[in-house]
């Protein structure tokens, strides 16, 4: 009797042990177009992932990276840059840029940024020059996208985040963990900072406006309910600040349409600014419509071709999230599931 008990326990242990991790369906055909979502995961938990969504078929592959590579991409993936059908993924907590074939999801290699490399945002100029902001090194690291090697480090301000390119210059937001108020301008001939421009508090996002100016998003002090942020415009030729739109409720990431409508995340949900006349609608889509748990949106992107607004919903930040799709008037259409903390959304067309 005693041995029977023992034997049964042993058998039970093998049954329980044999449960395996399930994977989503691998794409049967190479991906040619669709939506990629970079899911940050939870810091220190090694649960970043890339989600792929095909709007035409509504197929979702929540674990696009791991289902192909049979391993997790790393810790705290922050953003991706698409270049020549490859995705260069900044994996902050893993101090690397992971290069993946966007058509298959296969990893093509990594760029090891070393201890404290902490990559945040990437820009690739051509097949031999790529740049990434290194949060903990307070620098921009230049790398070679073809050879996957490090070229140089260019010191900028503290805790840099967003990066954009214009006129053979890079424009880097120096967040300084919420205390910063400047952007650094790097000349790509001299590979050094040639100007520092004062903007609003906590600059984090940098992009190009439709008229070729540099558009910088500043979030203000997150610890203060009344702190102001806003969007600032810099002339890339004169390197001077030309305009600004000051906003409350901590403006964050944004998406700009060809019609000059700027959709942006704030504490209330999604706001919208008509840059033609600066008319601002602070609550274009309410936060509770996006995230009925905490009213917080996490990422935003605009599909110009289909005129759809994609908004990342992190739910309570500790479970799988989703992306909700709206039309350009803010009407909810549909959603798809993602992994934890959908932090960045990209449209891919081969």
Partner 1 sequence: MKLKLITLIIGNFVIELFSISNSSYRLHSSIFHFEDTSKIYSMSEIYIIDRLNYFDNLSSGFVKKIKLSEQLSSVSIGNLVSSRPGIFTKSYGSEGSLQTISIRGSGSEYTSVFINGINYNNSLNGVFDFSKFSSDEISEIIIKKSNDFEPINNNSFGNSIELNPFEKNDTSKSIFKFQIGSFGFRGFQLKTSGYELNTYYKINFSKKSAKNDYEYKFNDETGIRHNADVNQNSLSTALINNLNIFNRPVLINSFLHFMDKQMGLPNFVSSNRHNNSGTREREKNFSSSINSKVFLSDDIFMNVILGYNNNQMKIDDPLLSINLKTKEYLLKENSINSKLFFNHFTKNFVFTFGFSKSIEFFDKNEKRDDGYVNQENLLRKNFSSNLKLSYDKKFAENLIFKSSLFVSLNYVENHFNSHNKIYKFPNFRFGSSINVKSLGLSSYANVGTGIRVPNFYEYSFSRLTSLTNRELEPENILNYEIGTRYENENFLFEFTYFTFDVQNKIIWRPQRVAFFSPTNLGRIKSNGIELNIEQIKLSNNFSIGANYTFTNALKKSRLTLNDQSYNKQLPYIPKHKASLIFYYKLKSIEFEFSSTYYSRRFVTEDNDVLFSLDPVIISNLSSTFYYSINSYHFRLNLLIQNLFNTSYQLIQSFPMPGREYRLTIQMEV
Residue nearer to partner 1 on the CB measure, 194 or 288 = 288
Residue nearer to partner 1 on the CB measure, 280 or 320 = 320
List Cβ neighbours of 243 (8 Å cut-off, separation of 6 or more). 213, 232, 233
**Shortest separation between residue 329's beta carbon and partner 1, angstroms:** 24
CA neighbor of 349 nearest in space, from 149, 122, 90, 55: 55
Give the DSSP letter string of 246-303.
Answer: EESS----EEE-TTSEEEEEETTEEEEEETTTTEEEEEEEEHHHH-TTT----EEEEE
**Helical segments of 18-108, H only:** 64-69
**Shortest separation between residue 131's beta carbon and partner 1, angstroms:** 18
Q: What is the DSSP letter of 202?
A: S
**Shortest separation between residue 339's beta carbon and partner 1, angstroms:** 7
**Shortest separation between residue 320's beta carbon and partner 1, angstroms:** 6
**Shortest separation between residue 205's beta carbon and partner 1, angstroms:** 9
Contact between 120 and 137 (Cβ < 8 Å): no
Q: Name the pairing type of β-strands 139-144 and 149-155.
A: antiparallel
- In whole angstroms, what separates CA 57 from the centre of its chain? 24
Residue nearer to partner 1 on the CB measure, 125 or 317 = 317
Q: Which letter, b or e, does each residue of 198-224 get, where b requires 16 or more Cβ atoms within 10 Å of its Cβ? A: ebbbbbbbbbebeeebbbbbbbbeeee
Residue nearer to partner 1 on the CB measure, 317 or 348 = 317
Q: What backbone phi and psi angles, to 5 degrees, belong to 11? A: -65, -45
Q: Which residues does residue 215 pair with via DSSP β-bridges, in sequence order?
A: 207, 233
Residue nearer to partner 1 on the CB measure, 134 or 275 = 134
**Shortest separation between residue 222's beta carbon and partner 1, angstroms:** 6
**Shortest separation between residue 77's beta carbon and partner 1, angstroms:** 10
Length of the chain equals: 350
- In whole angstroms, what separates CA 174 from the centre of its chain? 17
Residue nearer to partner 1 on the CB measure, 40 or 236 = 40
Residue nearer to partner 1 on the CB measure, 25 or 319 = 319
């Amino acid at each position: 009797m005693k041995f029977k008990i023992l034997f049964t326990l042993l058998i039970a242990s093998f049954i329980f042990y044999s449960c395996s991790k399930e994977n989503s369906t691998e794409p049967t055909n190479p991906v040619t177009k669709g939506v990629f979502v970079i899911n940050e995961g939870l810091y220190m938990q090694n649960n970043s992932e890339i989600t792929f969504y095909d709007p035409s078929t509504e197929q979702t592959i929540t674990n696009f990276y791991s289902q192909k590579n049979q391993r997790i991409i790393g810790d705290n993936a922050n953003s991706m840059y698409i270049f020549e059908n490859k995705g260069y993924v900044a994996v902050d907590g893993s101090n690397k840029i992971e290069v993946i074939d966007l058509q298959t999801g296969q990893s093509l290699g990594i760029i090891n940024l070393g201890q404290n490399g902490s990559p945040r945002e990437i820009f690739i100029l051509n097949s031999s020059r790529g740049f990434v902001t290194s949060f903990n090194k307070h620098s921009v690291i230049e790398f070679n996208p073809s050879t996957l090697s490090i070229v140089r480090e260019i010191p900028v301000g503290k805790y840099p985040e967003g990066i954009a390119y214009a006129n053979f210059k890079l424009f880097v937001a120096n967040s300084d963990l919420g205390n910063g108020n400047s952007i650094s301008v790097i000349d790509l001939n001299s590979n050094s900072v040639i100007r520092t421009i004062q903007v609003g508090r906590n600059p984090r996002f940098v992009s190009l406006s439709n008229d070729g100016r540099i558009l910088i998003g500043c979030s203000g002090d997150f610890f203060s309910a009344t702190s102001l942020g806003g969007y600032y415009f810099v002339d890339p030729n004169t390197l001077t600040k030309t305009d600004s739109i000051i906003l409350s409720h901590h403006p964050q990431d944004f998406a700009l349409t060809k019609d000059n409508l700027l959709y942006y995340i704030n504490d209330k949900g999604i706001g919208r600014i008509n840059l033609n006349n600066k008319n601002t609608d602070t609550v274009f889509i309410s936060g509770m419509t996006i995230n009925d748990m905490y009213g917080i949106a996490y990422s935003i992107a605009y599909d110009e071709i289909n005129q759809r607004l994609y908004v990342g919903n992190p739910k309570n930040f500790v479970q799988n999230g989703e992306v909700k799709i709206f039309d350009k008037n803010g009407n909810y259409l549909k959603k798809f599931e993602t992994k934890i903390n959908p932090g960045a959304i990209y449209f891919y067309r081969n």
